[in-house]
Amino acid sequence: MDSRIELLCRSLPAKGLDAILVSNPYNRQYLTGFKARETDLSSSAGQVLATGQGVYLFTNPILAEQAKIETSGLELVVYEREPYVAIANAARGAGVKTLGFEPDSLTAAAFRALEQAAGKDIKLIATENAVEELRVRKDPEEITLIHKAVEITDRAFVEVTTGLTEGTTEAVLAWELEKAMRELGAEALAFDMVVGAGPNAALPHAIPSGKPIKAGEPVVIDMGARYEGYCADLTRTICIGQTSEQFRRIYDIVLRAQLAAESSIQAGQTASEADAFARRVIEDAGFGAEFNHSLGHGVGLAVHEVPRIGKDSPAVLEEGMVITVEPGIYIPGWGGVRIEDTVVVRESGIEILSQAPKEVFPV
Ligand code: ZN
Ligand code: ZN
């Protein structure tokens, strides 16, 4: 099978590039296996220079040993202070005249340093999704890892929400869910967990607070485990005790929207068509304005990656893409409902990985 780096290098001439500098941590890991992460915005854990002649990984002395252990088949360059001087020198040595870079993953200061080091003889060209285009279709091993992350997430959700009682705070619930995921084998959370009860459930990205959960109010839980680098993304909306008529009405619309999308999405459709399967149901019910985000997004090494599944997304769905299907309705002051599964796009439909129950159980 073609290596990921070979595929990347083969795509460069059509982009007018002799080489590309990969600074995005997920792209770096995808191409080389190097798992190090930036500790803050201004320090890079490493960068990959892929040229037709060879592949280089630039990193700092602290991470050099880790890079040696985790990577193979590339030239490791350990720099002391000036990564971009080392990068430009290697590019020059490989005869690079046009060098692609990832504008989303370089700070302005880093770009300035790169520009200075590149001088007049290397032309810098901003690229878009050069590596993400490869990451977007998952191979079977990647799908297995995502599936494992999803299973951990599902099990933790069921374990912790079964028997959940009134008065538990959002923050305690979030911690119980986190603990359960870690105990079940998650290496980390895929993202900061969302737990929003009552009016907080109207905030799609509610931060778990000290608010006690009351019976009868919607509780939106958006959670995901990370397993060997790969993410799961699951949202369920639950209710302790008796549900109100309003809750049942909104929940039913969101669930119908999600099921409509899940039974219709397949490879070959555009992402905007996929979005419309769910959006139509919500709009027809009169809540179009209250569904104020996209239907979903790609999931992989990053919890949010291409393709975006939105109203105006031109991306075409392909076999092997892993995406979320997550319609929601948010009503300020009352709360909200979102239901989200992680799914694999297949030729004739989708394979739903998330198995956490969707019935609103009075727990
Ligand atoms: Zn989510
Ligand atoms: Zn999501």
Residue 360 lies in a domain: no
CA of 223 to the centre of ligand 1 (A): 6
Residue 119 and residue 144 in one domain: no
Residue 155 and residue 253 in one domain: yes
CATH of the domain at 65: 3.40.350.10
Residue 96 lies in a domain: yes
Residue 362 lies in a domain: no
CA of 225 to the centre of ligand 1 (A): 11
β-sheet bridge partners, residue 126: 101
Q: What is the structure's pLDDT at 2?
A: 59
Residue 313 lies in a domain: yes
Residue 308 and residue 171 in one domain: yes
Block residue for tokens 């997920």: 26
Residue 190: φ, ψ to 5°: -75, -25
Blockwise average pLDDT, block size 10, the chain, 363 residues: 86 97 97 94 92 93 97 95 94 97 96 97 97 97 98 98 95 98 98 98 96 97 98 97 94 98 98 98 98 98 97 97 98 98 98 93 51
The DSSP secondary-structure symbol of 45 reads S
pTM: 0.95
How many domains is the chain built from?
2
Whole-angstrom Cα distance, residue 20 to residue 23?
10
Residue 201 and residue 247 in one domain: yes
Residue 357 lies in a domain: no
The domain boundary, picked from 116, 135, 154, lies at: 135
Q: What is the structure's pLDDT at 202?
A: 97
Residue 172 and residue 74 in one domain: no
Residue 191 lies in a domain: yes
Residue 147 and residue 95 in one domain: no
Residue at 120: amino acid letter? K
Residue 16 lies in a domain: yes
The domain boundary, picked from 95, 119, 135, lies at: 135
Other CB atoms within 10 A of residue 353 CB: 23
40 CB-contact burial (10 Å; exposed 0-12 / middle 13-18 / buried 19+) = exposed
Strand order in 218-223's β-sheet?
A: 194-197, 218-223, 234-239
Q: Where are the alpha helices (DSSP H) in the chain?
A: 4-11, 25-32, 61-70, 83-93, 108-118, 132-135, 140-161, 170-183, 245-264, 271-284
Structure tokens at 235: 């949202």
Residue from 249, 241, 251 nearest 214 by CA: 241
Residue from 202, 160, 183 nearest 338 by CA: 202
Find the ligand nearest to 302 CA: 2
β-sheet bridge partners, residue 125: 100
The domain boundary, picked from 84, 105, 135, lies at: 135
Q: Which residues surround ligand 2, an ion (CB under 5 A)?
A: 233, 324
Q: Are 87 and 117 in contact (CB under 8 A)?
A: yes
Q: Where are the alpha helices (DSSP H) in 184-265?
A: 245-264
Whole-angstrom Cα distance, residue 39 to residue 349?
40
Residue 113 and residue 236 in one domain: no
Find the ligand nearest to 303 CA: 2
Residue 359 lies in a domain: no
CA of 348 to the centre of ligand 1 (A): 25
CA of 327 to the centre of ligand 2 (A): 10
CA of 3 to the centre of ligand 1 (A): 31
Domain extent at residue 90 = 2-135
CA of 4 to the centre of ligand 1 (A): 28
Find the ligand nearest to 205 CA: 1
Residue partners of 13: CB distance under 8 A and separation at least 6:
none
Find the ligand nearest to 153 CA: 1
Residue partners of 259: CB distance under 8 A and separation at least 6:
none
Query: CA angle 253-255-258, nearest 5°?
Result: 110
Whole-angstrom Cα distance, residue 135 to residue 155?
27
Q: What is the structure's pLDDT at 361?
A: 59
Query: CA angle 157-163-167, nearest 5°?
Result: 100
CA of 340 to the centre of ligand 2 (A): 7
CA of 214 to the centre of ligand 1 (A): 23
Block residue for tokens 């490879």: 267
Residue 118 and residue 24 in one domain: yes
Q: Which residues surround ligand 1, an ion (CB under 5 A)?
A: 222, 233, 235, 340
